[in-house]
Every structure is written in structure tokens, then in C-alpha cells.
Structure 1
Amino acid sequence: MTVRLVRTAVCTALALSCLSFASHAASGSTALHCGQLFDSRSGDVLGPHTVLIRDDRIAAVTAGHAEVPGTPGIDLSGHTCTPGWTDLHVHLGSQSSPDSYSEGFRLDDVDYAFRSVGYAKKTLLAGFTSVRDLGGEVSPHLRDAINQGLVDGPRIWAAGKSIATTGGHADPTNGYNSSLSHLLGPPGPTEGVINSVADARQAVRQRYKDGSDVIKITATGGVLSYARSGDAPQFRVDEIQAIVDTAKDYGYHVAAHAHGEEGMRRAVEAGVTSIEHGTYMSDEVMALMKRKGTWYVPTVYAGRFVADKAKIDGYFPDVVRPKAARIGELIQATAARAYKAGVKMAFGTDMGVGPHGDNAREFVYLVEAGVPAAVALQMATIRAAEVLGVDDQGVIAPGQRADIVAVKGNPLEDINRVLDVAFVMKDGVVYSQPGTSP
């Protein structure tokens, strides 16, 4: 069968564009010759394909190795091309270490900003062309710097400051001594701390003023905050409802950090877009999430990481260590149960808890939990795009953003392939490719 006939059959079956490559050949064009292609819509790995990039978009996709006159090509034979990956839960302004708690008193925002530049590049080179940064005042500024071409990094949806209750997981004064607390005064909605419906509305509006893209709330206690409880509910339903309703006014989705069952139930009933972590998710909460269409972002990597570090004396403060040991090891089992129950799932790592650039290990942990490799890849591509509410990424198809990642071999046969990314393109710009050093 000729290349032309193969192209026609495959394009018809997959609803891919069969535009003539010759009509797209121009300066700013590149042809990617992929040994295999991951179709995120079906979850299948297809045979050889050529993907024509024009500027920052995919112009055409065809089966086989098709030469495009006047257009340079990149040889990715022996590799599987996938849409660029999305990590829906990162914190690019920080990275866990035994010094993390004391650094908050010693470092300025500028220090964290400089660190974030390196973290962003590591994330991009690991294959993650988009991220949702769920909590950190640096992230909106890093997003803007990346968009302006000043630094290299993934496309960022930035939450800015997370919204919490007094003493909650994202209360920035947790762990301060009484003298310092009295000096600074109690944080309020401007600082992301609320205690009423009116406060909730103001906090969302402040995030809009600050330039956030998404709203993050801490619906329960957390593992790494300097507080005793890691799972107690920390908002009333009417407070979360006020956040969700006000967020809708600005076109925001709401992501809810939640470990405990009751806090999750309240968040889901109030209409949040996603539950993050979900450690103690019950069958009842899973059923509620399915009815409401709520997404689950497991962050198995973070659970595994903190459980391991809890075994090391001095890595975490004494108030944090038992939470890390107890909660961290449960998330992978919850992800397994949620997948079997049919809960909608998307990809996120909580990176910043662990070292940036190690994001792809989440794929490995998901597969260990019983999630098929194809589903895990869909979670980081087409499903992540659904969570973000965008329709121009997550699929290798004409008109989509030219975000493409390639790994050697077939990741559906060996998921560990994702740990060695050979090629990264974002918006049509190549950041790494076989035979070159990033």
C-alpha cells in the first residue's frame, strides 16, 4: 500500500486532517518523523507518522514517513511521539528539603523567584509543556516571564496564593511564635485566609486582582503544614460554595486540596472542579464525585516521597513527621480504588514536594497502582486539557498547539520509557532532541 493510501485510511479513521503537506511548507515549518504516535483520543500507539509543524501549531498529520519539500525534518524514528504532558499540581516556587521550614524566615520572594527559573526549565525538559501551579505567589510572575520569552518553562496556569481558613493548611502564619504573630496581625482575605462567606468572596476577588488563572483552596488539613491535623475539614459548605460561585464570575475553576473524607464531601457538594490528593476518599465520596463530574488528581508521587522522607530523622519537624508517615503511603491505594470505581482522573504530582523534573515518575506509580499505561498518558494529555477547560492541546491533530514529546521505544509496553525524554517541543520551539544536550 502506498504512503498516500495509508494516509487516507488512517486520517479517515482518526478524523485527522489530510491536508497536503506541500501547501504548508514554509519558513517556520518543521516535519517531525515519528517512529510511532500516541493517539490520546483512543489511547492507542499507531505506526510511523509525520507531523508537520507550522509556527506554533500542528498543521497536518499523516501516516508514514512523508518528505515535505523545503521543510527541515527531525528524525524521531525509534521514538514514540505523544502530546506534550501536563502536570496539574505543581509548586514551582519551592522544593522540599530539611531546610524548607527555616528558609521561609530567611529568604525573600526574589530568592524563590530565581530558584523557580531553574525548576521551570527542569519541568519543561522532563516533557511537561503545561502545568497548573496550585499555590505560590511567585507563579503568576514566572508565568508572565515565560510567556514573554524571558525564561524557558512550561505554560503555567497559576493559582497564586491558596485560600485557607485560620490555622488551615495554607495559613501563612502557621508555626510563627506569638510575638511575631501579634506583630504581623491575623492574616485575612488579601493573604488568602477566610472565616466567613464575605471573606470567601473577597479572597477570590483578590486572586483576580493578583492575576491568578485558577483558584486553589485547602479544604482539609495538609501533610507538610506546621499543624497537627492532616485531614480535618477546614471550611464550612457555605464558605466553599461562596468561593465556587464567585470563581464562576471570573471564569475560574476551583481545585481543592483534600485528604479527609468530610472535607472532600463538602468540597464536592459545593461544586469544586477537582479534588487533589484524596487520601481518605471513601466509596461514598467516589460515588458523589461521579454524580457531580468532579475530577480526581491523585499526586501519588508526593505521597510516596513524604512517606519515604518521614523515615529520616530531622527531615520534617516533629509535628509533620507522623502525618507524612501516615497519610503519604495511602494515596497510591486510593488512586487504585478510584480508577476501579470509574472516578474521572487526571495527572498531577504535587511537585515541589519532591525534586522538580522528576514529574514523570507519577506515570510509573499510577501503573503500579493498576492504571493502564495508556490511561496514565491520557491523564496527562487529553484529560488534563479537559480539567483546564481548553480544547487546543492534549492531542496531536491539526490546529492543536505544537506541544510534542518523544520517548524512545513504546511507553505502553514499558512505562519506564517516560523517565528518559528524548525530544521536547512547546509552541513549535524545540527545547531538546536526540543527539543534543539541553
Structure 2
Amino acid sequence: MSKTLYFNFHLFNGQDDQIKKHAWMVVDNDKGTIEEIGNQDQPKIKSKVNLKGKYVMPGMINVHTHITFNPNSPSGDTDVDEIRSTVRAIRHLHELLESGVTTIRGCGATYNIDIVLEKLRAKGKLKHVPTILPAGKPFGITGGHSDLPNWGYHCDSVDAIRHDVRVGIKKGAKAIKVMATGGVITPQDSMFNPQLSIEDMKTAVEEAHHKGLIVASHAEANPGLKNAIEAGVDSIEHGFEINDEEIDEMLKQKTFLTSTLECNWAMNTNKVPKWEKDKLKKCWSMLIPNIKHAWHRGVPVTVGTDAGCAFTYFDATAKEFELFVKYMAVGNFEALQANVNSAKLIERCQQFNEKIGILKPGYNADFLVLDHDPLKDVKAIQQKGLGVYKKGIKEC
């Protein structure tokens, strides 16, 4: 068995509110997993790496990404051909990894490109990218939020969504994305208008759960938000109008919440078309108090930036933690627990066979090497040129 000893670093394991000083870690090179961690009696192993007194923490997990979108476009710029979409997606994957993101969940990709790229990555034919839990195309109604060129399935009945979800799963989707409401980037709809029905979404959940997969619902406001929770989805994406009744149900069902704070902050602080800006103002006014309330009531909030939407870039995942601290009234450690929640959400997919989000024996050796302590300053993760290791291999 080939092993590597990493030593002379200070460890934040992702789980405990403390730094383990002068730590060492043994990685099984064949499995890419951690075998042992300590800070005394360093084992004698021939292959070793001196991390020179820096700080080590788990790789980031971004559970809301659109790798085929153009973040310089108000609506994602989906009307380009498959070749250009693929080139764009690969570039965005490199940007994600270089910024410290080691695992992502897709939340909608044109041409099912994230499915294809994950298959290539798993075979070793696509390197220096995060692990992908792909969604492929999302599922919505004709004329709805997913009705963009080359993007969504159009499902206008229970039979249609059952068929299309089965098609998506056959193609390789591991995370099914359904549209419960309208949204910001589509001018033809409103977040207050429901789209897929409760029965539609229940059908999607049933088909996905039969295969051990997870379901995410785009759900910004009511009544569609309530419909998605009632349908039993695994995660609510956005959830701006969430209320106590819905929080009660999410806590009962152990439903995750992805607030996409970075996307809303970025779009609000940059120039977008007036129709989009008007929607954003309403989102922002609801998002801060309601997501904060859900967080403090115990709803598990994940890290998902909506990367690919306007001005939401693929190297900005770390900004989400800073915004959590600023707007959610939590400390650095509490903000970083959203990364653990992201791992728990992805690991709910029974076809994802890796343990991520924490640095301890048996888990992937996916870690970042930083100059400064992230528990003292969460902005330390925004470091340019940080060290990124995936399964014990230095990627950048």
C-alpha cells in the first residue's frame, strides 16, 4: 500500500470548532482517503510533504452550479451550440477547482453536458476538475423558468414528467432539478407564480428516490415553495419567502435549504436589465430576514452560489461564507458548517459513493492549504493561489 504523510500544518477538520496545531495526516494514495490524523508521534513514512506551518481545511462543496451558463449574460446565454457550451463548461470547472471547490452538484446544464463531463472525469479522461453530481437538463413547464434554449425538459402533465425524469436518469442524471416557481433570470414569469404542481413534483421525487437519487427544487416564493416542500424534495433552492409553517415541515422531513446568497448579492451590486433588477429587489428584501430565521431555527443551509447566473462567477464560492457571516448573524465556524451540510446533501444520493466535507479517517483527502486561519477570518478561504488537493493529489 502506497502512503503519503502530510505534516507541519494546523488543521481545521470541518467538524470541530478548533484548530489542531502542528498536525499530520496519512493518506492512502491508492484510495485517495485519509488513513490517520494526529499531532504527536508522527509516523515514519518514506513519502512525505511538509506543508510549512500553513492551515488545512476541507475542500469546498458548491451544490448549486450551472457550468454551461455565461455569468456575463443576464439570462445565462444558453442559446449557443453544444461545442461552445462544452468548452465553456470545462473552463468553468477548472475555475471552480482552482478556487478551492472539490465537489459540485449541477442544478441544470444545457445539452446534459455535466452528465457527459462527469463520466469523462470518472474515467480519468477529464482532469483538474471537481467531482460532479450531475443534474443534466432541469424539469419544468412549457413557458416556465426552465424554458430557455437548449436547457429544460417541458413537462405539462404527470405522465410527461414521469417519462422525462426516467429519460434523464437513463442519460445519467444523479440529482433531479424541478421548477416549482418562476424566477429572476426569465422575464416571462414571476417567483410568486407556481409552475410544476405538487403531483408533478411528487412524481419526480418518486422516480428519483426509487433509484436512490436526490431532488432539488427551484422554489423562490409561495405558493410554489410550499408545493415543493409538500412534494418531498430533498433541497429547496433559494427559498426566499420561507415561513414558519414551511420551516416546521422542512425540519420534520430533514429538507436542506440552498440560499444562493452570493448570486443575489452579486446581481444586486452590478448592472442588470430593469426587469431583472426589479425582481432582485424583491428577492433581496425577503431573503435576508427569512433565510436568517430558517438558519437560526435549525434548517440545514448548504453552500450553493448559483454560479453561472449574472455576475455570479465560478471562482467566487468562498464569498458565500463571508456573506453568511455578514447577513445571517452567525460566526465563522457556524458559516463553515454549511459546507458540511452540502456534503450531507450530496451523500444522500445513494449513487455517490465517497465521503466528503470532513477531514478524518475514511474520508476523501480533499483539502485546501491556506496562509491564514479560516476560523479567525472566514475570508482566508478567498486567498488567491491557495493549495488544492483532491484525493491527496495536488491539483493546483
- Fold shared per TM-score above 0.5: yes
Deviations, residues 7-59 of structure 1 (Å, cap 9, x unaligned): xxxxxxxxxxxxxxxxxxx64x3222253211333333222210111211112
Structure 1 residues 122 and 264: CA distance shift in structure 2, 3 A: same
What's the counterpart of residue 335 of structure 2? 376
Structure 1 gaps of 5+ residues are 1-25, 174-186, 433-438
Q: How does 1:40-55 map to 2 (within 5 A)?
A: 40-55=14-29
Task: After superposing the two structures, state which structure 1 stretch, 91-100 or 45-54, moved more.
Answer: 91-100
Structure 1 residues 233 and 50: CA distance shift in structure 2, 3 A: same
SS at match of 2:19: strand
| CA distance in structure 1 between the partners assigned to 2:74 and 2:294 by the alignment | 35
Which amino acid counterpart does residue 86 of structure 2 have in structure 1?
Answer: A
TM-score by length of 2: 0.90
What's the counterpart of residue 393 of structure 1? 356
| CA distance in structure 2 between the partners assigned to 1:87 and 1:236 by the alignment | 28
Aligned residues between the structures: 382
Equivalent residue in structure 2 for 1:212, among 166, 170, 173: 173
What's the counterpart of residue 10 of structure 1? none
| CA distance in structure 2 between the partners assigned to 1:392 and 1:221 by the alignment | 34
Q: Contact 2:8–2:51 at 8 Å: present in 1 too? A: yes
**Percentage identity across aligned positions?**
26
Equivalent residue in structure 1 for 2:238, among 268, 277, 289: 277
Rg larger in structure: 1
| CA distance in structure 1 between the partners assigned to 2:341 and 2:300 by the alignment | 9
What's the counterpart of residue 223 of structure 1? 184
SS at match of 1:418: helix
Structure 1 residues 68 and 121: CA distance shift in structure 2, 3 A: farther
Structure 1 residues 370 and 65: CA distance shift in structure 2, 3 A: farther
Q: How does 1:183-222 map to 2 (within 5 A)?
A: 192-222=153-183
Q: Contact 1:52–1:61 at 8 Å: present in 2 too? A: yes
Deviation at 1:65, TM superposition (A): 7.6
Q: Does 2:120 match 1:159?
A: no
SS at match of 1:226: coil
Deviations, residues 267-314 of structure 1 (Å, cap 9, x unaligned): 1111100001111111221122112211111110011112223xx2xx
Structure 1 residues 65 and 261: CA distance shift in structure 2, 3 A: farther
Q: Contact 2:14–2:336 at 8 Å: present in 1 too? A: yes
Q: Does 2:3 match 1:32?
A: no
Deviation at 1:100, TM superposition (A): 5.3
Q: Contact 2:13–2:360 at 8 Å: present in 1 too? A: no
| CA distance in structure 2 between the partners assigned to 1:373 and 1:407 by the alignment | 15
| CA distance in structure 2 between the partners assigned to 1:322 and 1:424 by the alignment | 39
| CA distance in structure 2 between the partners assigned to 1:61 and 1:272 by the alignment | 37
| CA distance in structure 2 between the partners assigned to 1:210 and 1:324 by the alignment | 34
Equivalent residue in structure 2 for 1:411, among 371, 374, 378: 374
Structure 2 gaps of 5+ residues are none
Alpha-carbon RMSD? 2.1
What's the counterpart of residue 9 of structure 1? none
Which amino acid counterpart does residue 285 of structure 1 have in structure 2?
Answer: E
Deviation at 1:329, TM superposition (A): 5.2
What's the counterpart of residue 264 of structure 2? 303
SS at match of 1:320: helix
| CA distance in structure 2 between the partners assigned to 1:44 and 1:232 by the alignment | 45
SS at match of 1:251: coil
Deviation at 1:331, TM superposition (A): 2.6
| CA distance in structure 1 between the partners assigned to 2:50 and 2:192 by the alignment | 49
TM-score by length of 1: 0.82
| CA distance in structure 2 between the partners assigned to 1:199 and 1:347 by the alignment | 32
